[in-house]
Structure formats: C-alpha cells, structure tokens
Amino acid sequence: MVGGIGKAETSRILVNGLGTGVEVEISSDFEAAAVVATEAGAYYLGSCHTGAGAALGVLVPLLGPDRCHAFGRSVPTADELNALLAAGKAAFGFPVDNTAAVVGVFVDVLSGSAEKS
C-alpha cells in the first residue's frame, strides 16, 4: 500500500520494478493501517516533504512505533532495509524528493535482486 504526496510515483516505481505478481494499492492512511495490521506481508510506503512526520502521522498511532520507520533524509541500503523488515517494520516514511532512491531499494529487496553481504 502506498500513500502520501508522492503516492503516484511510488506506485509507478513499484509496479514497474516488481511486475504484475505484486499488488500495489494507493490508499488512505487509515485504510493502509487496517490492512498492514491484519495482513501478513503487507507494507505501507508513505511520502511527505521531510520523511519524518506526516508520512506516518496516522500509521504510528494505529500500528505502534515498533511497526513503523521514518527514513528522514537518509536512503537505506538493502542490508538496512532487510534488517528493518526482519525486525517487523511494515510502514515506512520518506521524503518525496527521495522517492526514486528509497523505493528503488524496496524494489531490489522485495524482488530478491539486492545483493546480500
């Protein structure tokens, strides 16, 4: 599930990178929280201007901080993202101007094309 101010671009990158085998849905924050809370393997990617606040403003109170991660201005490596996923993170926030870089890492990790070290 994707949301935030860059939701169209996030969706496009995911669909182009992951193909038709993965469902990508643009949603509201409330709808995304309900799906992520109840469906295994569901993730939320949200963007805002800073990547630290509004991208997860609804998700943090509904899912809890243990399930959410804001990247702020940083772009994760594949290893960092794998560690976050292994720790149970399912909702991620990032700044809209880092959409291509951050979502590209998700594509690499979720498609299995990221190198493991």
Task: Return mean pLDDT, the chain.
Answer: 92
pLDDT at 117 over 50: no
Of residues 93 and 114, more confidently modeled: 93
**How many Cα neighbours within 13 Å face the side chain of 91?**
32
Compute how many other C-beta atoms are within 10 angstroms of the C-beta atom of residue 115: 8
Q: 96 Cβ partners below 8 Å, 6+ apart?
A: 4, 5, 6, 9, 47, 48, 49
- Which pLDDT score is estimated for 51? 80
pTM of the model: 0.93
- Which pLDDT score is estimated for 114? 67
- Which pLDDT score is estimated for 53? 80
CA nearest neighbour of 17 among 89, 111, 90: 111
